[in-house]
A and B are shown apart, each in its own frame.
Chain A
């Protein structure tokens, strides 16, 4: 369901293309109005049977449906769902421009033959309609103010109703609220609202809303570069484990960002890997996929690894990672000049991606790689040559830098100060306690993966009945077999001569 949102949060431009594709592939789609109506029926079913599954199904179609909304569709839907004199209906209709009033009766006849229902639908349906309304209002700049008003109103309504069956929809409403505020360029103003709601949600164990809100808050903090606050929020809250994959993917992405800024690269890398794994397929949410990979490439470089070449050939990533590819090449070659030119060439791109400061930190990695390459190819090299080859400013600098590299374990060797050269020691042997450590870490990972997948297995209800019957049969046969053996055994026993004494 939330793959859908991801497109919206990230680069919307990238998504337009395949949205069109999706629309084309759907042959003879049902009219939006009837779709809304069937969705509302599903929501009612979800509420009456206490099965959130149905609600989730409704929300999954939210994004495609959102594209087809217009004033008319919404008006028809509202008119159809509510009885004619319902106060909620009139309330909802006030959010739509009244100009269409004249011809809507005719439209109803065309769109649907059914009469407006006579009974009041569940409140969840009302909130669902409001959600659609907010999305519709945010889509055009003229009505954005109204969208914020409506979202505030909706939140109040949700909180007064306080129904657990509302939670999945409420989580979506919060997303819509953020969107409304962001388009109104007042993202910071929504923060107190989110914080208060987050407290309530965690008190009510409303996991879905909580997950959604934590991500909203983190996003808002990171948008304003408030890494300190974001970090505190993460340490003070626990992300609900039952949250959906898309929420988890986002959460991991934000965590990765925070950790990377704090120089905790290996943790950042783990988080970003998780984000990539949990993210929806690249073609569905390319924006998110690209954003995560941009950050993950930089973090990998900062850790001293070189990302796979194939990553940069990925159809979705190839163009987006262009600038990063040049940086990777520079780091790989250990060439400071190449690095500087790539950095200045793509500075504005890195700036918008918010990776600029991280990339600037790579400078030392470039130097380290350079020294490492030199130490591998020479058994003895003068500091002056190092200085020239790595474009360092003075020999003195080179001496300190090499010294630090030796201390940090980047290279093995000794500096002979009197002669002014570096003597490189041979490579360390590849075997030792570290190897077994790495090995056991990998094994532990594989075992963990296996255990997790066993835990994650789901069995459909009552499906084991059949197997039980089969097992019953097998047991029956076994019994027979045992009986036969027993009888056979009896025969054996009859044989004399092989008694105890033997």
Chain B
């Protein structure tokens, strides 16, 4: 590997390790490093390659993935993570295991969760190289798994409480968007399950700090807010009118008649 690549790599490592990393500078270094990786054919490794170089390449990409999270650039994280897939899946038997592999895999799972891509979430989960019953013992993986389970069964307060128990610093970056997802979920449940709610209870149910925020949210969803009685009423969806779908029935009956004609 070229020497300047080595020095850049050391610089990046130093930057990543320091507590108040200069994100902008890291971005610049990462950009240079990626060009270096491409020219030395390590970004998408093919054929015979030096495994030590590969481990370094993996390191760089991992740092890049973390960097994207810190800069809140989810699409960039997505790119870094898909580049890392090769290292995690195809070269797993040649390279020493990376300590950052599972945190990153966990982050990827949370990302899928916040984007509400549940099907992808499960596919990714299945393809983890871990036996299924040991998933729960890996803190980085069990966190998204629990989140998903609670979301699915509706234990939203557990999700809310778990937001601060993230196994790694970077997990918290997803908390905000996750909370947004949850609020929308809760709101749609409340709509269906309640006639009206006192504003105070509504605020706690939907995890807002102040009533003002809650009221603003309620108005945003076009619910009736009664400020005097401090009550929020949910617009009743009018009783669905029972209408006979005439055209559909006629079409269906004609189709049956035609088919029967063919049979008899």
Q: Which A residues have a C-beta under 8 Å from some C-beta of B?
A: 225-228, 231, 261-264, 347-348, 350-351, 354, 356-357, 360-361, 363-364, 367, 392-394, 396-397, 399-407, 413-415, 417-418, 432-433, 436, 440, 443, 447, 450-451
Q: Is the CB of A397 within 8 A of B157?
A: yes
Is B152 part of the binding interface, using a Cβ–Cβ cutoff of 8 Å?
Answer: yes
A227 close to B126 (CB less than 8 A)? yes
Given A263-B118, A357-B132, A394-B157, A225-B193 contact (CB < 8 Å): no
Q: Is the CB–CB distance between A443 and B256 below 8 Å?
A: yes
Distance from B205 Cβ to chain A, minimum over Cβ atoms (Å):
8
Could you jot down 24 A-B contacts, CB within 8 Å? A225-B126, A228-B123, A228-B127, A263-B122, A351-B133, A354-B132, A361-B152, A393-B155, A400-B189, A402-B154, A402-B193, A403-B154, A403-B190, A404-B153, A404-B185, A406-B189, A407-B192, A413-B193, A414-B195, A415-B194, A417-B198, A432-B242, A450-B259, A451-B259
Given contact pairs A225-B127, A350-B132, enumerate 7 new A-B contacts (beta carbons under 8 Å). Answer: A225-B126, A351-B131, A400-B157, A403-B154, A407-B192, A414-B195, A436-B249
Do A440 and B263 contact each other (CB < 8 Å), given the known contacts A226-B127, A404-B154, A417-B201? no
B197 within 8 A of partner (CB):
yes
Bound CA span A413–B259, Å: 43
State the majority secondary structure of interface residues on B: helix
* Contact indicator B155/A433 (Cβ below 8 Å): no
| Residue of B126, B128, B186, B243 most packed against chain A (CB within 10 A) | B126
Which of A226, A364, A393, A401 makes the CB contact (< 8 A) with B149? Answer: A364
A400 to chain B: closest CB distance in Å? 5
A263 to B152, CA, bound (A): 12
Against A, the Cβ 8 Å flags (1 = close, 0 = not) of B247-264 are 001001000100100110
Considering the complex of A and B, which 6 residue pairs feature the smallest CB-CB distances, nearest first? A404-B154, A403-B189, A356-B132, A403-B193, A407-B192, A401-B154
Which residue of A has the minimal Cβ distance to B251?
Answer: A440
A466 to chain B, nearest CB (A): 26
Cα A396 to Cα B245 with chains together (Å): 42
User: Nearest-CB distance from A162 to chain B (Å)?
Assistant: 30
B2 in the interface, Cβ–Cβ < 8 Å? no
Q: Which residue of B lies closest to A367 (CB)?
A: B153
A400 and B192 within 8 A (CB): no
Say yes or no: is B156 at the interface (Cβ < 8 Å to chain A).
yes
Whether the Cβ atoms of A357 and B158 lie closer than 8 Å is no
Q: How far is the CA of A361 from the CA of B121 in the complex (A)?
A: 13
Chain B residues, Cβ within 8 Å of A417: 194, 197-198, 201
Q: Collect the chain A residues with CB atoms within 8 Å of residue B190's CB.
A: 403
A414 touching B123 in the complex, CB below 8 Å, given contacts A403-B154, A432-B242, A433-B245? no
Chain B, interface size category, equals: 35 or more
> Complex: how many Å from CA A238 to CA B220?
47
Least Cβ–Cβ distance between A185 and chain B, in angstroms: 13
Contact B155 A401 (CB under 8 A): yes
B166-200 interface (Cβ within 8 A of A): 185-186, 188-195, 197-198
Which B residues from 196 to 230 make CB contacts under 8 A with A?
Answer: 197-198, 201, 205
**B12 CB, min distance to chain A CBs, angstroms:** 30
Question: How does the 8 Å CB contact mask read for B122-140 relative to A, with 1 for contact and 0 for none?
Answer: 1111111101110100000
A228 to B126, CA, bound (A): 10
Within the complex, the shortest CB–CB distance from A398 to chain B, in Å, comes to 9
| A262 with B123, Cβ < 8 A, contacts A407-B189, A417-B198, A440-B252 known | yes
Chain B positions within 8 Å of A406 at CB level? 189, 192-193
Distance A406 CA – B193 CA, assembled complex (angstroms): 6
A432 to B249, CA, bound (A): 13
Q: How distant is the Cα of A404 from the Cα of B249 in the complex, in angstroms?
A: 34
Contact A262 B122 (CB under 8 A): yes
B189 & A227 in contact (Cβ 8 Å cutoff): no
Q: Is the CB of B122 within 8 A of A357?
A: yes
Tell me the complex Cα distance, A408–B245, Å: 25
Considering the chains assembled together, what is the distance between the CA atoms of A100 and B86 in angstroms? 49
- The answer, yes or no, to whether B119 is at the interface (CB within 8 Å) is yes
Query: For B124, what are the chain A residues with a Cβ–Cβ distance below 8 Å?
Result: 228
In the complex, A275 Cα to B40 Cα: how many Å?
A: 49
Q: From A262, A394, A403, A418, name the one whose CB has the most chain B CB atoms within 10 angstroms.
A: A403
Q: How far apart sit A356 and B126, CA to CA, in the bound complex (Å)?
A: 10
Contacting pair B132 A364 (CB below 8 A): no
Given the complex, which residues of B lie within 8 Å of A443, measured CB to CB?
256
Does the CB pair A351–B132 fall under 8 Å? yes
Residues in B neighbouring A394, C-beta threshold 8 A: 157
- Inter-chain contact B157/A396, CB cutoff 8 Å: yes
Complex contacts, A401 vs chain B, CB 8 Å = 153-155
Q: Which residues of B contact A413 (CB under 8 A)?
A: 193
Residues of B near A227 (CB, < 8 A) are 123, 126-127
Which residues of the other chain, A, contact B149 by a CB distance below 8 angstroms?
Answer: 360, 363-364
Chain A residues within an 8 Å CB radius of B157: 394, 396-397, 400
Contact present for B155 and A261 (CB under 8 Å): no
Residues of A near B243 (CB, < 8 A) are: 433
Partner of A407, one of B118, B156, B188, B195: B188
Specify which chain B residues have a CB less than 8 angstroms from the CB of A226 in the assembled complex.
127
Cα–Cα distance between A403 and B118 once the two chains are bound (Å): 21
B239 to chain A, nearest CB (A): 12
CB neighbours (8 Å) of A418 from chain B are 198
